[in-house]
Structure 1
Amino acid sequence: MPIRREHRFFYPIDWPQLSAVIRFRRAGGRCEVCARPHGQRVFHLGDGRWWDAEAASWRDGRGRIVCVAVGADDVLGQVRTTRVVLAAAHRDHDTSNNAERNLAAFCQRCHLLHDRPEHRRRRWLTLFRRKALGDLFRGPYSGP
């Protein structure tokens, strides 16, 4: 994922090289959670299951091989494609902690799932600040 301009100073100057080492040398060009390959277009069902062409089988959101019963649900009606892009992520969400054990190679889906609690926390803070500013400048909050 690209780094926003206002957040660039949180990352070290050699971040592109550090990110490449984590994504391609350590992780081997695959997501460390679900094993999706970087740069490939994969078929997926939207619930984490995806088709691994190398293994010729379906994998779940954790990278384990699963059996998809054709008659149980309409698999072909649900299939979508997506292009996988790996990103280096901080496990503890602290951009100043660039230790190798704190960095992970995640695909888009796994990165969003990993960041969900942090995004929820930041969303609450943003809404709380907006409400406080409204109370400060326009009187008590009256709702939408």
Structure 2
Amino acid sequence: MPIKPEMRGFYPIDWPQLSDSIRFRRAKGRCEQCGRPHKQLVCQLADGRWYDDEAKRWRDDKGRAVRTNLPNPFNLPSEIKARFTYVVLACAHLDQDISNNAPTNLRALCQRCHLIHDRPHHRLSRWLTWRSTKAMGDLFTGRYR
């Protein structure tokens, strides 16, 4: 995920090299949560299963091989809804603290896994933003309606 311009100063100068080291040396270009490959087009079903083109098999949302009678993505029946997504790896801070750049705190995650990991943080940020708009309304314009 791109770094917001106002947050860029909080990252170390060597962040691109550190991020590349985590994503490509340690994780070998695959998501460390689900195993999706970087810069590949992946077929994904609604329940999170995805097709691993290298292994020629379906995997679940944790990257484990799934026993299924589904054919490859190009031969799927029309009633099965599948979509193709382009996977991009990002280097994620596990504790949401961007000053903590210890290798144990960093993980290479695809967009889907990164959003799932950050969901509680995003939910809290959304709630705080909503509450602050109510507080500003109470402070300056009377009761918020």
Question: 1:62 maps to what in 2?
Answer: 62
Question: 2:83 maps to what in 1?
Answer: 80
**Alpha-carbon offset, residue 46 of structure 1:** 2.8
Is structure 2 residue 104 aligned with structure 1 residue 90? no
Q: Structure 1 residue aligned with 2:139, among 129, 136, 140? A: 136
Compared CA separation, residues 74 and 21, structure 1 to 2 (3 A):
same
Question: 2:117 maps to what in 1?
Answer: 114
Contact 1:134 1:140 in 2 (8 A): yes
Question: 1:32 maps to what in 2?
Answer: 32
Deviation track 1:32-54 (CA, whole Å, cap 9, x = no partner) reads 00000001111110321100011
Compared CA separation, residues 74 and 138, structure 1 to 2 (3 A):
farther
Query: Structure 1: any 5+ residue segments left out of the alignment?
Result: none
Is structure 2 residue 17 aligned with structure 1 residue 17? yes
- The count of aligned residue pairs is 140
Q: Tell me the SS of whatever aligns to 1:66.
A: coil
**Alpha-carbon offset, residue 89 of structure 1:** 0.2
**Alpha-carbon offset, residue 74 of structure 1:** 5.6
Structure 2: distance between partners of 1:14 and 1:3: 14
Deviation track 1:89-137 (CA, whole Å, cap 9, x = no partner) reads 0000000100000000000000000000000000001001111001000
**Alpha-carbon offset, residue 69 of structure 1:** 3.6
Identity of aligned residues (%): 61
Q: Structure 2 residue aligned with 1:105, among 102, 105, 108? A: 108
Which residue identity does 1:128 align to in structure 2? R
Contact 1:23 1:29 in 2 (8 A): yes
Q: Tell me the SS of whatever aligns to 1:115.
A: helix
Which residue identity does 1:68 align to in structure 2? T
Q: Tell me the SS of whatever aligns to 1:21.
A: helix
**Alpha-carbon offset, residue 76 of structure 1:** 6.2
* Structure 1 length-normalised TM: 0.92
Query: Structure 2: any 5+ residue segments left out of the alignment?
Result: 71-75
Which residue identity does 2:4 align to in structure 1? R
Question: 1:126 maps to what in 2?
Answer: 129
**Alpha-carbon offset, residue 75 of structure 1:** 7.4
